[in-house]
Amino acid sequence: MKDNRKGRRVVVTASERVSMLPPYLFAEIDRQKEAALKKGMELIDFGIGDPDMPTPEHILRAARDAVEVPAYHRYPKGTGSEFFREAARNWMREQFGVAVEDGLDVGAVIGTKEGLAHVPIFFCNPGDIVLVPNPGYPVYRASAILADAVPVDLPLQRENGFLPDFGAMAREVVAGTRLVFLNYPNNPTGAVITLDQIQRIVEWARREDVLIISDNSYSHIRFDGRPPASFLQIPGAGDVCLEFHSLSKTFNMTGWRIGFVVGGTNLVRAFMGAKENIDSGVFTAIQKAGEAALRSNIAGYFDIYARRREVLVAGLKKLDWDVCDSPGTFYVWVRLPRGTESMTFARKLISHTGIIVTPGSGFGTFGEGYVRFALTIPEDSIHQAVGRLEQKELYSHRIKAWLKKGMK
């Protein structure tokens, strides 16, 4: 824009912290998708983890009824309406045996992504260290950067079951750590965690005075026959833990943008008090939909994901692909042949087969050499994708040669 007073152009730029944000994970993939569509290819999209099944009818009905209530058209209560918070309390009690009334509190968030992104802004001082799972959900790192905190990698290695190894962290890093993001069942690896492992992490956090941020968005999507787990099942964990629960994946409500945070009373109140300075809360009619979801049976969709997972894993293993057969989430994490760049592979897979996967490098440096498949497409499309790979004879030992062929 032009400053007419001085006759010179003024260049307005974003802050330095914005320039430090990593590039958008799907930007390059989106370009490749557009190019493939222009060639008339039929795409099979394992990319984004957005459930393809509709929101259940009883939830839609609750929302329709609530939209007609004039009182719900006004500003919502910042911490969440009491009916939604009570449904969340019941959910924690019924699903995890956690009594929210016992030194804990709960508040509504506009989806867990929003809630997670605000945590470092509310709890970190400039220069505080935030431990970020690598590979992990990109929002963790971005939120630390935007808070002027220092994101430090918490490596999740296959040989350790994609679990954190706090004993391997340098002492000076631990001493400067303010909070740690953890996500189990884990995106992108599918790893799960036991209550014994959770207890050891809680003990470490109490000893080191570190705040645990548990992203429990995929709590019930697991295929090992074990019940879902919560950090708050450990006595005293509320003193050092905020846990976020999402309705997006469990109830096919990604577009509705609703979830809740639960943890120690002082932590939740500090979080919600700061949040009230930024937004005006969740639309009350959507909270009514959320209440209906939390009070309903949740088991209906997981058998579908289990069957899809069986088809994909069996198909990839038939081609000798190195599948990390972890039992959580609706993702399948696959190791590429050593030395294979995940973005290069994903790019060529789209252009030659029309199959879209997410390159592991988008989840951090320790995700390089892997790709992620999301099970959010119909079973017949998964069969079709495996058929395309077989047609290309894309066995694991042939991938590197296939990439070199025709690549500039």
Average of pLDDT values for 128-142? 97
What totals of helices (H) and strands (E) does the chain contain, helices first?
A: 14, 15
Share of the chain above pLDDT 90, in %: 88
Which residues are within 8 A (CB) of 70 and not within 5 positions of it... i.e. 6 or more apart?
none
Please give the structure tokens belonging to residue 345. Answer: 């592979």
Average of pLDDT values for 67-94? 97
Band of residue 137 on the pLDDT scale cut at 50, 70, 90: very high
Q: 3-state SS of 282-344?
A: CCHHHHHHHHHHHCCCCCCCHHHHHHHHHHHHHHHHHCCCEEECCCECCEEEEECCCCCCHHH
Specify the pLDDT at position 408: 43
d(CA 357, CA 374): 8
d(CA 379, CA 309): 9
Q: Which of 255, 191, 253, 181 is nearest to 221 (CA)?
A: 191
Q: Is the peptide bond before 126 cis (omega within 30 degrees of 0)?
A: no
Instruction: Tally the residues of the chain.
Output: 408
Specify the pLDDT at position 31: 85
d(CA 110, CA 129): 26
d(CA 329, CA 198): 18
Answer yes or no: is pLDDT of 102 > 90. no
Domains of the chain: 13-54+300-404 (3.90.1150.10), 57-294 (3.40.640.10)
Helix residue ranges, H only, 47-186:
57-67, 82-96, 112-123, 138-146, 171-175
Model confidence, pTM: 0.95
* Angle at the Cα of 364 from the Cα atoms of 198 and 50, rounded to 5 degrees: 75
Band of residue 299 on the pLDDT scale cut at 50, 70, 90: low
Q: Which of 405, 406, 397, 399 is nearest to 341 (CA)?
A: 399
Band of residue 23 on the pLDDT scale cut at 50, 70, 90: confident
Specify the pLDDT at position 338: 95
Average of pLDDT values for 257-274? 98
Task: Read off the pLDDT of residues 201-221 as tens digits, 9 standing for 90 and up.
Answer: 999 999 999 999 999 999 999
Neighbours of 386 (CB within 10 A): 19
Task: Read off the pLDDT of residues 220-233 as tens digits, 9 standing for 90 and up.
Answer: 999 999 999 999 99
Helix axis angle, 265-275 to 112-123, nearest 10°:
100
Task: Read off the pLDDT of residues 300-359 as tens digits, 9 standing for 90 and up.
Answer: 689 999 999 999 999 999 999 999 999 999 999 999 999 999 999 999 999 999 999 999
d(CA 355, CA 372): 12
